[in-house]
Amino acid sequence: MSYFDAASAAPLHPVARQALQASLDEGWADPARLYREGRRARLLLDAAREAAAEVVGCRADELVFTSSGTRAVHSGISGALAGRRRVGRHLIVSAVEHSSVLHSADAHEADGGTVTQVAVDRTGAVAPQAYGAALRPDTALACLQSANHEVGTEQPVAAVAELCREAGVPLLVDAAQSLAWGPVEGEWSLLAASAHKWGGPSGVGLLVVRKGVRFAVQGPVDERESGRAAGFENLPAIVAAAASLRAVRAEAAQEAVRLRELTERIRARVAESVPDVEVVGDPMRRLPGIVTFSCLYVDGETLLHELDRAGFSVSSGSSCTSSTLTPSHVLRAMGVLSEGNVRVSLPSGTPAEDVDRFLEVLPGAVAGVREKLGAPAPTTTTVRENVLIVDALGKRCPIPVIELAKVIGDVPIGGTVRVLSDDEAARLDIPAWCEMREQEYVGEEPAEKGTAYLVRRVS
């Protein structure tokens, strides 16, 4: 089985396993106690903090360990907002942040704060000037991920950090995906990350708050971790997390070159061997190891099952794989195709042979899924005044787009197809199909049931 979902959770690094086993024997006592076992545990905790801080590029007393990366994000955002409440209650986030950031933004807004969500381009990147334009006198905090977790696009953190510094606004960086590959550039103020993203054990996050940043811990205060992370430290996991972070960073430069070659191979071969596919994300400014593409006329969940049966573990942002039947907020913000979406994220050490085998299997898997969807339940089409109406109500991704593709040739050039759909994914996938097929997406309008999406044939 080839595991290609390292962006969700990387396999446990050998160094993490060794450190975890060793610290289970040495680090079981309370590090806050003064007796021998407590002092030994404290030494381990201090050494782990020093090691992690060195890799991050901060002072040891600026870094605390939390129970997860999500907890680090929530604590960082709430503490920074509370610490700068006198300035104002305005928060800036990008449209493609991790859900932990967006959930914090929702909670802040529900509590009476204001939130500006900065849009991204089709590669998933923000424009620094868009952050500059969003800054206001009452802005308390800005948040920007270092690299996107779904498409791998790196963000211009240093440029945004400089704009925030000039405005006197702290910037919180979610560095979960990138920290293993190198330090976060720029004069950021807060940083959050998660150990299971770099091959450490799950249940360990880290939060960095630079000296001079106003910060007020929310909720009951605990004496541990500078009062910023309540509860007894999971010391063996913390030691393993710090040890594995140092180990993967030592290997990062060489492994990044190798993984970039493999991901470029995937990007090129997928575009060549799979018809009607869109490879998404920035082709240059991207993390090593992450490739994301979407396939027209494909049910994402079915494709993932086919690849799983073939021995490949991948993930997807398609609405077809979601219980909410809505596409990934990242793909939606980018305005790219969501149906048949596949994210391949290669862990360190992935053999080139596994990638080659994936590229051999993928075209047949996609073709097989498309064949299964070739005869969907009949839809009703009518023609009114040079407008062909496709009734795809009740049909789910990717059926509305399949039905559109079937009938676009039945209208004359300049004619319009009106697709009726109540599937939220159609709002993203129909415009994406038009761009791929060089047809004109006219827009949407309310219908008696669902929404009508208008497409004009231009070729």
Active site residues: 320
312-313 and 2-3 beta bridge pairing: parallel
Distance CA 408, CA 412 (A): 9
Distance CA 19, CA 224 (A): 22
List of residues 6+ apart from 346 with CB closer than 8 A: 4, 6, 259, 262, 263, 289, 290, 355
β-bridge mates for residue 194, sequence order:
205
Distance CA 153, CA 291 (A): 10
103-123 burial string, b = 16+ CB within 10 Å, else e? ebbeebeeeebbebbbebeeb
CB count in 10 Å sphere of residue 382: 10
Does residue 440 sit in helix, strand or coil?
Answer: strand
For residue 45, give the H/E element and its range.
Answer: helix 36-56
* Contact call for residues 174 and 182 (beta carbons, < 8 A): no
* Tokens (6 digits) for 157: 């953190």
Backbone angles phi, psi at 370, to 5 degrees: -60, -40
β-bridge mates for residue 342, sequence order:
293
* Tokens (6 digits) for 288: 């090593």
